[in-house]
Amino acid sequence: MNRAVLALEDGTVFEGRSIGAPLERSGEVVFNTAMTGYQEIFTDPSYAGQIVILTNPQIGNYGTNVEDNEASKAYIEGLVVREFSAVASNWRSDELAQAYLEKRGIPVVTEIDTRALVRHLRTRGVMRGVLSAVDTDAQKLVGKARNIPSMAGLDLASRVSTPERYEWTHAVDPCSPSELIARAPEPRYHVVAYDYGIKQNILRRLAQVGCRTTVVPSLTSAEDVLALKPDGVFLSDGPGDPEPLQPQVANIRNLVGKVPIFGICLGHQLLGLAFGGKTYKLKFGHRGANHPVLNRTTQRVEITSHNHGFAVDRDSLNPADVELTHVNLNDETLEGFRHRRYPVFCVQYHPEAAPGPHDSHYLFDDFVKLMAEAAR
């Protein structure tokens, strides 16, 4: 059996079997509770710098396909699972998940007691770790884990951002002939999207509601964005700590009041900072596809997809400037707000989520309404 070891900075060690790339990788060890969508997790830039534990006990059973990628490469540092299926049974599958990860240099450890591991992280908080399929010396790996830079204070958004701007017009494709998806309208609005680690399904959703999107690097100046004459600006999700991203925050401040703005996840956190708020690191973050969020405007509960380790301190925002619109029903963390005077709103969760849930697709329509009102 090819052994693999996951060593945490607190000295805890888990040993299992290696089935991915025979490599050693390090990062913050986090867990995701989604039942489906493992390929989207593999390719989500927001997982840069992280080793991901999947709590669903069997992974790989429906394979992978080109259409479900959220980016052009895999971003996770490593993968930890209970059981990895040797068989893929799905008509959309074109490659085994194991082969997919091995080709992309992602080490995988399976036959781990993921339930015990997740309970440990929920109690102690997420921590740094090393996943190795080449070195099984536990104490040496623990020492390496303790020398990994902390996620707090780490700017990862600049690393994963696109180096050059590009255009996106491709809308959502149905997964099967039976899936009913309305035909996307002709593009009516031009959106400039800051790429802090943007997911492709966000771009598809923007196209689905009639937007032509220009994606720009994370450090693009506000002046250069306005020179593109956008009808609206989108602030994307992304990895790492929002507080070191002061140039990005300054650019956002220079855009507020000049163009409608919609932010998701890291974009939400950066807007919080731009309005004088503060952010903080969560004990073990929110990562999964079943988080209940209350929309305080409609009083409806939305089941939502999450992937973040930081949050905006709701008490740090000036209530005279912003209205708190969404709250997490699990821990009452802030999930969304909008500005009282300017056409600016944001949410912490992922309304574009692939494979779902889809409760919050309406937010893209809300963005279109803001742009329509601003154009009058």
Cβ-contact 301, 292 below 8 angstroms:
yes
What φ, ψ does residue 353 adopt, rounded to 5°? -40, 130
Query: Given 265, 306, 308, 335, which residue is catalytic?
Result: 265
Those residues with Cβ within 8 angstroms of residue 40's Cβ, 6 or more apart along the chain or in another chain: 68, 69, 70, 199, 201, 354, 355
Smallest CA-to-CA distance from 14 within 123, 118, 151 is with 118
Using alpha carbons only, give the angle 362, 330, 365 rounded to the nearest 5 degrees. 5
Cα angle for residues 316, 320, 325 (degrees, 5° grid): 70
Q: At what angle do helices 246-255 and 266-274 cross, to 10 degrees?
A: 70
Q: Give the C-alpha separation, 242 to 274, whole Å.
A: 11
Distance, CA of 50 to CA of 48 (rounded, Å): 6
The yes-or-no answer on residue 265 being catalytic is: yes
Catalytic residue among 268, 308, 326, 350: 350
User: Is 352 assigned a catalytic role?
Assistant: yes
Residue 32 near residue 287, CB atoms below 8 Å: yes
For residue 303, give the nearest of 357, 353, 348 by alpha carbon: 357
What are the strands, taking DSSP E only, across the chain? 3-8, 13-18, 24-32, 50-54, 58-59, 78-80, 83-84, 108-110, 127-132, 166-168, 189-195, 211-217, 232-235, 261-264, 279-295, 300-312, 322-328, 334-339, 344-347
The pairing of strands 108-110 and 13-18 is: antiparallel
Q: Which sequence positions are flagged as catalytic?
A: 265, 350, 352
